[in-house]
Amino acid sequence: MRLVVEMTTSNNDTAAIRLSGLTKTYGSGNTAVHALRGVDMTIQRGEVVGLVGPSGSGKSTLLKCLGAVIEPTDGQIELGGESIFDGKTGGWQIKDLRALRRDRIGFIFQAPYLIPFLDVTDNVALLPMLAGVPNNEARLRARELIEALDVGHRAGVRVNMLSGGEQQRVAIARSLVNQPPVILADEPTAPLDSTRALAVMRILNQMAQRYGAAIIVVTHDEKIIPTFKRIYHIRDGRTEEEAGEGREIPEETGIKIR
């Protein structure tokens, strides 16, 4: 099967994600909590990068800022070279944050959060429909992705009839269907055994390479940490980058992307 869903960019040398001096403070005065203290991060198209750190280190806050769910206190966020947030010039540089989240940022959560009364195809097709894509085209995109992720045979089945692994693959398809340049995955393998966790990581790497998405995976999962080529450690609201092992995932643990 030939997939026609493609990522596009005007400049392949431009970082997909660039954070500079990003801060987030909750409260003020003596009760202020400095969740982020000047985070710097650069991620290229096609990369899958790990973000690890203990509870309370700022991982969730960083993901929410990058996903335009909460507003940073200061610093800069760029997506594909475009300024999204600049604390020095008034904050958010884009007026419609809902459209930003819908069209340019994909989310994968620990739980799939699928809509139980919709079938697999419509769970994936709903996002492009909401973005104004004609229903037929939206369903075509959805079918191509669920076929590529080896759940095409379940296309007409309600998602509450799927196994946990199938539901996670549908959630991955949903995160890709609007062709976002950025995907944020929050503990996507936490509930999975080793084989299924590595299968999810293989899928994410395959999809990043095929569609050129930059993927950040927040994780505590020791099973998948050796698969990252780059890792950001976050401690006390600050990040440190280090090279990862980049260990190859055996072919049999993944889905072949046709």
Both tokens assigned to 165: 């692994």
- How far apart (Å, rounded) are the C-alpha atoms in residues 14 and 194? 35
Per-residue pLDDT at 104: 92
Q: Does residue 29 lie in a domain region?
A: no
Per-residue pLDDT at 11: 47
Q: What is the pTM of this model?
A: 0.84
Which of 22, 14, 3, 216 has the alpha carbon at shortest distance from 107? 216
Domain that holds residue 226: 46-68+97-231+239-253
- pLDDT of 256 > 80? The answer is no
Q: Does residue 87 lie in a domain region?
A: no
Both tokens assigned to 129: 């429909």
Q: Does residue 76 lie in a domain region?
A: no
Average pLDDT, the chain: 88
CATH number of the domain residue 190 falls in: 3.40.50.300
Both tokens assigned to 88: 């020095």
Q: Judge contact between 176 and 182, C-beta under 8 A.
A: no
Tell me the per-residue pLDDT of 101-145, one tens digit each, with 9 for 90 and over.
Answer: 988 999 998 888 999 999 999 999 999 999 899 999 999 999 998
Q: Does residue 17 lie in a domain region?
A: no
pLDDT band at 149 (very low <50, low <70, confident <90, very high): confident
Q: Judge contact between 200 and 172, C-beta under 8 A.
A: yes
- Count structural domains, the chain: 1
Per-residue pLDDT at 257: 44
Q: Does residue 59 lie in a domain region?
A: yes
Tell me the per-residue pLDDT of 16-51, one tens digit each, with 9 for 90 and over.
Answer: 999 999 999 999 999 999 999 999 999 999 999 999
- How far apart (Å, rounded) are the C-alpha atoms in residues 159 and 82? 36
Which of 52, 93, 90 has the alpha carbon at shortest distance from 187? 52
Which of 178, 204, 152, 250 has the alpha carbon at shortest distance from 48? 204
The helix or strand, by DSSP H or E, that contains position 35, with its residue range, turns out to be strand 33-43
Q: Does residue 7 lie in a domain region?
A: no
Q: Which long-range contacts (CB under 8 A, 24 or more apart) does 131-137 make?
A: 131/99, 131/102, 131/103, 131/178
Q: Does residue 6 lie in a domain region?
A: no
DSSP state of 112: -
- pLDDT of 59 > 50? The answer is yes
Q: Judge contact between 108 and 186, C-beta under 8 A.
A: yes
Beta strands 91-92; 82-86: pairing state: antiparallel
Q: Judge contact between 159 and 123, C-beta under 8 A.
A: yes
Q: Does residue 28 lie in a domain region?
A: no
